[in-house]
Amino acid sequence: MANLKKLIIEPLRKTNPVTVLVLGICSCLAVTAQLKPALVMGLSVTVVTALSNFIISLLRKGIPNRIRIIVQLVVVATLVILIDQFLKAFAYDVSKQLSVYVGLIITNCIIMGRLEAFALSHGPGESFLDGLGNGLGYSLILVIVAFFRELFGSGTLLGYQVIPQSFYEAGYQNNGLMILPPMALIVVGVIIWIQRTRNPEMQENNQN
Amino acid sequence: MKKDVNSNRYIFLYATILIIIVAVLLTVTALWLQPFQDRNKKNEKRISILTAAGIPDVNAKNAPLLFEKHCTGSFLLDESGNISESGTLPLFVIDRQISVIPMQGNGLWGPIWGYLAIAADGKTILGANFDHKSETPGLGGEITTEKFKGQFSGKQILENGNLVPIQFDAITGATKTSNGVKEMIDNTLEKYSAYLTRIAERGE
């Protein structure tokens, strides 16, 4: 039981796919200018990692080794297309904001990474939890980055004005740089920095 | 008998069955969700048209109702500004007097489009609405903001029966997108000039 819990908790912290494994950075830059698309993207990636891990784990004994990557891609692509279609039907605004990035979930290294490293060698239940954990770990970073970018870049959170009008009258200005992609990288860098400072065992030894 | 998971026969069979399952799944979902997606696209268009014509607080929920109420006609115009079945220029009439015309053009990275609402006199812009596929957020992407769209209200497009090129404050750092917007508006007005001059004359 403790082991299963670890599968979900660990990727949020010590094996976080974004800050520790440094995977999925591209989409992290692209969809974090505002909180809402970041939440939807995080949710979508979580669903895809969890379900694809589960399905591949179920199939793992029957998948011919020589076409294993192709089979993985087909499963992931199917899930992504399904999510894209659902977003277009029920969350049109968000799907427009995410535009090509939903389709690009297919290329998110976290998913293929977990399939290869975990799902092919573990049972469906464990694999599902592992996918869920890694998806949530990814979402967590996305939401943190989006929180800061939207707050300082647009003065809003989830589209609602947070920074009061009186600040603007006093000369406060939104930081346009926060909206541009490089700022996401810097925020991710700061998160990694804080994480490593607090967990000294994660620091590499570079003195050679 | 244990199956050989790596025999060619098995691989082909496996791939075929997998593809068939996936194809059926995707087809069923696509057909099932099609009506919802079409409705969203239609709504988006309605919201753009109504917002350009200056109707406040249009959202995805009330758009069909408001559109029904305000849109008093949608036509196709031909080159000389007459309503005709075979025309290629769409026109939406809002509240019997405002003409809303769709525009299409190119930004820096991809297509941009929008709607232009023209007042009953045929020569004053009432409002404009823009959208884009992939302009840079914070730069070209700013064409969707109220600040940019708002400056078009009240601009004159006809002078003594002739079109005047549109003038507006471009966005700093987004020259290509701004030029794209200008080109888009000028080209569109050019195409609709026959119709516009006619309603302008009628107004005088």
pLDDT above 70 coverage of chain A, percent: 97
Supply B140's token pair.
Answer: 């070209």
CA–CA min distance A2, chain B (Å): 35
Q: Do B15 and A67 touch (CB under 8 A)?
A: yes
Chain B residues near residue A71 by CB distance under 8 angstroms: 14-15, 18
B30, B133, B136 ranked by CB distance to A85: nearest: B30
Taking only the tens place, the pLDDT of each residue in B6-56 is 788 899 999 999 999 999 999 999 999 999 989 888 888 888 888 888 887
Chain A residues near residue B37 by CB distance under 8 angstroms: 85, 88-89, 92
Domain boundaries, chain A: 2-200
B8-52 helix and B63-70 helix, angle to the nearest 10 degrees: 50
pLDDT reading at A207 higher than 80: no
> ipTM value of the model?
0.74
Chain B residues near residue A87 by CB distance under 8 angstroms: none
Partner A contacted by B27 (CB < 8 A)? no
Partner A contacted by B12 (CB < 8 A)? no
Give me the numbers of helices (H) and strands (E) for chain B, helices first please: 4, 7
Strand partners, B113: B104, B131
- Maximum CA extent, chain B: 92
CA–CA min distance A125, chain B (Å): 22
Confidence of residue B1 (pLDDT cuts 50, 70, 90): very low
Q: Do B5 and A62 touch (CB under 8 A)?
A: yes
Residue/partner pairs of B89-95 with CB below 8 Å, 24 or more apart: B89/B191, B89/B192, B89/B195, B91/B192, B91/B195, B92/B49, B94/B49, B94/B50, B94/B53, B94/B55, B94/B70, B95/B53, B95/B70
Q: Do A74 and B60 touch (CB under 8 A)?
A: no
Please tell me whether the overall predicted TM-score, pTM, comes out greater than 0.90 for this model: no
Q: Are B141 and B110 in contact (CB under 8 A)?
A: no
Q: Do A180 and B14 touch (CB under 8 A)?
A: no
pLDDT reading at B59 higher than 80: no
